[in-house]
Amino acid sequence: MDMKQMMKQAQQFQQRLTEKQGELAGKQVSATVGGGMVSATVNGRHELISLTIDKEVVDPADPQMLQDLVISAVNEAMRKAQAMSDAEMAKLTGGVKIPGMF
């Protein structure tokens, strides 16, 4: 394979990567904890876009419980977003992990 062909393939891959990143940004995943008391939604760019807290879980005497539930919901949503991102990137790379991609 000559250098020109390799450059063309690299440009095509870069274009597909950019398209895939745009697609992921439009996708959302959610996680709910505490029996539905706290829900977090993140997009494919790992940005928190929604956080819902049931008023029943707001207890001024126990803010630590609410903090723990929020952290748990956000972390679970982030894990789901990462799994979604990994699956989409695997489609693009044929399952080969490319360091520094995501």
Would you say residue 68 lies in a domain? yes
- Predicted pLDDT of residue 95: 61
Total domains, the chain: 1
- Predicted pLDDT of residue 14: 84
For the chain, the helix, strand and coil percentages under 3-state DSSP, each to the nearest 5: 55, 20, 25
Q: What residues make up the domain containing 52? A: 26-93
Rounded Cα gap, residues 20 and 101, in angstroms:
12
CATH of the domain at 51: 3.30.1310.10
- Predicted pLDDT of residue 100: 57
Would you say residue 17 lies in a domain? no
Rounded Cα gap, residues 70 and 73, in angstroms:
5
Would you say residue 58 lies in a domain? yes
Tens-digit pLDDT profile for the chain (102 aa)? 688 888 888 888 888 888 878 888 889 999 999 999 999 999 988 999 999 999 999 999 999 999 999 999 999 999 999 999 888 888 877 766 665 554
Amino acid type, 46? H
CB hemisphere CA count around 28 (13 angstroms): 10
Would you say residue 54 lies in a domain? yes
Residues in Cβ contact with 32 at an 8 Å cutoff, skipping those fewer than 6 apart = 38, 39, 73
Would you say residue 76 lies in a domain? yes
Rounded Cα gap, residues 75 and 67, in angstroms:
12
Would you say residue 6 lies in a domain? no
Would you say residue 99 lies in a domain? no
Q: What's the predicted TM-score (pTM) here?
A: 0.76
Would you say residue 88 lies in a domain? yes
